[in-house]
Structure 1
């Protein structure tokens, strides 16, 4: 089954079992964007009764991966997507269900042009994590690369 015949959120959850273990679900994915949720579960809580930092990171990284795949899934035959760095800012204590919204920080054409030129393009994906009230609780930026396949 090809990437294009699968829902990108479902594909990511199939490829990353840990995200499934946390109960992450995708609401929408497409055109370099993704929106997903982490349920409010006691077994995911930290010492202040909110989602553990690792769960927040996994939620955001999953959103970034889905946003990246929605834009560059058609390039998987010639390049492997890999995250290279990630920075997370914890701004407020998160409680309850949280949502992550990811968006590419480059255009698809810019990245593909660099890949076509024989480069190993790097690009950012920004992710905002908000609580049920819409308050920003964390922000993450993941730098991704498309590593060209070796002949």
Structure 2
């Protein structure tokens, strides 16, 4: 099962928005929100909440790709998120997430018994390539008790 299939199976909101998971690695994750009238805002583009969910889902995909092998000993949790809407988004939009710390550094902190935190940066782009939003999600790996 791919990470996209796993997220679609376990995260109802990803299914609700019909998110499409593209390339997902420990370094980069791409997720697309199709253009769907039922999730439009008052100006005919994707609703801010749908774009937030798109970007947060891309961050979750990269976290699973990077730290999926740690799930037996830690739970990934979003600690905080900040989003900036830069330009009007219309039509289909794609979120591209990148991990903000080396995987080995985060795992080393976990090995030391710490609860590591790390940022994931996400850009939301229109089909013409224009950046319509930027988001940062701070994640943690909470060690199992």
Q: State whether TM-score is above 0.5.
A: yes
| Equivalent residue for 1:42, pick from 33, 37, 51 | 37
Q: Aligned residues, how many?
A: 145
- Structure 1 position 124 matched with structure 2 position 82: no
Structure 2 stretches lacking a partner, 5+ long: none
Q: For residue 15 of structure 1, report the CA deviation from its aligned partner.
A: 1.2
| 1:147 equivalenced with 2:142 (yes/no) | yes
Q: Which residue of 2 aligns with 1:84?
A: 79
2:97 counterpart of 1:105: no
| 1:94 alignment partner, SS class | coil
CA contact (8 A) 1:32 1:68 kept: no
Match of 1:80, SS state, is strand
**1:44 offset after TM fit, Å?**
0.5
In structure 2, which of residues 4, 29, 50 is the aligned counterpart of residue 9 of structure 1?
4
Structure 1: give runs of 5+ residues left out of the alignment.
1-5
Q: Which residue of 2 aligns with 1:63?
A: 58
Q: Aligned-pair distance for 1:31?
A: 2.0
Cα distance in 1 between the residues matched to 2:114 and 2:52: 29
What SS class does the counterpart of residue 32 from structure 2 fall into? strand
Instruction: Calculate the TM-score normalised by the size of structure 2.
Output: 0.98
The answer (yes or no) to whether the contact 1:129–1:136 under 8 Å persists in 2 is: yes
Distance across 1 between alignment mates of 2:5 and 2:29: 12
Q: State the superposition RMSD in angstroms.
A: 0.6
Over 2 Å off, 4+ runs: none
C-alpha deviation, 1:88, in angstroms: 0.1
Normalized against structure 1, the TM-score is what? 0.94
